[in-house]
Homo-oligomer: A and B are copies of this chain.
Amino acid sequence: MGRWTTTVFSFSITATDGAARRGVLSTPHGDVETPCFMPVGTRGAVKALTHRDLEDLGAEIILGNTYHLHLRPGDELIARAGGLHAFIGWPHAMLTDSGGYQVFSLAGMRRVTEDGVRFRSHLDGDLHTLTPESATDIQARLGSDIAMVLDELVDPDSAAAPAMERTARWAARARARMLELRSDARLAKSVLVTNTGQAQFGIVQGGTDPALRTESVQRTLAVGFEGYAIGGLSVGEPVDVMYDVVAHTAPQLPAGQPRYLMGTGMPDDLVACVARGIDMFDCVLPTRNARNGQLLTRQGVISIKNAQYAEDLNPPDPECGCLTCRRFSRAYLRHLYVVGEMGAAMLNTAHNLYFYLDLMARIREAIVFGSFEKLRSEFHRTFSRRPQQSR
């Protein structure tokens, strides 16, 4: 048994441009070109899109949320169905979070000890416990291609050191459990492991303190994982602070392993953090904002409900090649949004995710051609986070 690696999961860098890296993640459910963006499919479905839509958009990997799937329909039921890929009918790569993020968001409904987190379900108030070991087992049953360790999250104003230290201790326990599941076939069978090629990623914490981040990197590397995530960012800190933490942390991670920046971000964040050496991203913004009528364009965000679009026959983004922009006008999308048609969420989501996935494709191409810095400066020059006031 390889100590740190599974037999089927691998990562290789195929080109670099400055600190930006192009690579390929090989998983039991296909290859994923990086840098990549992972659409969020919380409960086994990306909201308002079918799997076919996602495939057409070029999504090679999606994210599932362990907390939600553990509660409904339950990870044991999913394991009996053959794992998450079989259960939801998605044959491509998937990553699952540890469930920790959702649990730590349940303010007042959870209690943290060294053992793990006790929490009450937001659905029925039932008491559950999540430990580094059980989070590993749940994800082993789900059978995602990449499982995340349970980490301790604190709000940005709390002291980051104790949570970073506990995260490191939990990482060692999660890894020990994972190696046990990999080496003990009888245990794996009793736990209902559904994907023997599952990789496990550690998570670097430490808030915004460079020294703590460095210590977290060292302690997480000492445990050893197939890949490494940077957690605890995009939680309200200024965007420059986030960029600085990424710039400080990413270069300390092993060059030959994937780096995943959790829960980030806006399109310009993706460009900025690829420039700082990140390979993987996930974020609910493109899908959630789509359902709220916020559409991304080359020039920035437009709010489709605004009256100014009532008779605007232009596509959301005249430069965009997505199915929504090729067929529908701002006027029609505004109408669908205003009357509350489900189609508004569907067409807006398809557009926003195309924007993200197309951006990642252009980033990958630019890295190969050595023109990433040009793409980056051009993108930051034209894209604005603020809603457009006029066309």
Residues of A that sit less than 8 Å from B by CB:
43-45, 47-52, 68, 72-73, 77, 80-81, 87-89, 310-311, 313, 323, 327-329, 331-332, 334-336, 338-339, 341-343, 345-347, 350
Q: How far is the CA of A341 from the CA of B342 in the complex (A)?
A: 12
> Which 7 residue pairs are nearest across A and B when measured between Cβ atoms?
A45-B343, A89-B327, A73-B335, A45-B341, A89-B328, A48-B342, A43-B339
- Is B338 a contact partner of A72 (Cβ separation < 8 A)? yes
A51-B327, A323-B52, A332-B44 known; A345-B343 Cβ under 8 A: no
Which residues does chain B contribute within 8 Å of A335, judged by CB atoms?
A: 43-44, 72-73, 87
Q: How far is the CA of A72 from the CA of B346 in the complex (A)?
A: 20
Q: How far is the CA of A310 from the CA of B327 in the complex (A)?
A: 38
A73-B310, A339-B43 known; A88-B332 Cβ under 8 A: yes
Q: How far is the CA of A334 from the CA of B51 in the complex (A)?
A: 17
Which residues does chain B contribute within 8 Å of A350, judged by CB atoms?
A: 50
- Is A77 a contact partner of B311 (Cβ separation < 8 A)? yes
Closest partner residue, chain B, to A291 (CB atom): B342
Shortest distance from the beta carbon of A308 to any chain B beta carbon, whole Å = 14
Closest partner residue, chain B, to A123 (CB atom): B339
A89-B328, A341-B45 known; A50-B347 Cβ under 8 A: yes
Q: Which of A323, A329, A338, A346 has the most CB of B within 10 A?
A: A346
Q: Which of A80, A327, A335 has the most CB of B within 10 A?
A: A335
- Is B310 a contact partner of A72 (Cβ separation < 8 A)? no
A73-B310, A323-B52, A338-B72 known; A329-B47 Cβ under 8 A: no
- Is A342 a contact partner of B345 (Cβ separation < 8 A)? yes
Number of copies of this chain that the complex holds: 2
Q: How far is the CA of A323 from the CA of B52 in the complex (A)?
A: 9
Which residues does chain B contribute within 8 Å of A43, judged by CB atoms?
A: 335-336, 339, 341
Which residues does chain B contribute within 8 Å of A88, judged by CB atoms?
A: 332
Which residues does chain B contribute within 8 Å of A80, judged by CB atoms?
A: 311
Known: A45-B336, A48-B343, A50-B347. 12 other contacts (CB 8 A): A44-B332, A47-B343, A51-B327, A68-B339, A73-B310, A73-B335, A73-B338, A77-B310, A81-B311, A81-B313, A87-B335, A89-B328
Selected A-B contacts with CB under 8 Å, 6 pairs: A50-B343, A73-B335, A73-B338, A77-B331, A87-B335, A342-B345
Which residues does chain B contribute within 8 Å of A311, judged by CB atoms?
A: 77, 80-81
- Is A346 a contact partner of B50 (Cβ separation < 8 A)? yes
Q: How far is the CA of A51 from the CA of B343 in the complex (A)?
A: 10
Which residues does chain B contribute within 8 Å of A310, judged by CB atoms?
A: 73, 77
Q: How far is the CA of A77 from the CA of B44 in the complex (A)?
A: 40
Q: How far is the CA of A350 from the CA of B346 in the complex (A)?
A: 14
Which residues does chain B contribute within 8 Å of A334, judged by CB atoms?
A: 73
Shortest distance from the beta carbon of A89 to any chain B beta carbon, whole Å = 5
Q: How far is the CA of A341 from the CA of B43 in the complex (A)?
A: 8
Which residues does chain B contribute within 8 Å of A49, judged by CB atoms?
A: 343
Which residues does chain B contribute within 8 Å of A73, judged by CB atoms?
A: 310, 331, 334-335, 338
Q: How far is the CA of A181 from the CA of B347 in the complex (A)?
A: 36
Closest partner residue, chain B, to A336 (CB atom): B45
Shortest distance from the beta carbon of A331 to any chain B beta carbon, whole Å = 6
Q: How far is the CA of A43 from the CA of B336 in the complex (A)?
A: 8
Which residues does chain B contribute within 8 Å of A52, judged by CB atoms?
A: 323
Q: How far is the CA of A87 from the CA of B332 in the complex (A)?
A: 6
Which residues does chain B contribute within 8 Å of A341, judged by CB atoms?
A: 43-45, 47
Closest partner residue, chain B, to A46 (CB atom): B343
Q: How far is the CA of A271 from the CA of B343 in the complex (A)?
A: 31
- Is A331 a contact partner of B89 (Cβ separation < 8 A)? no
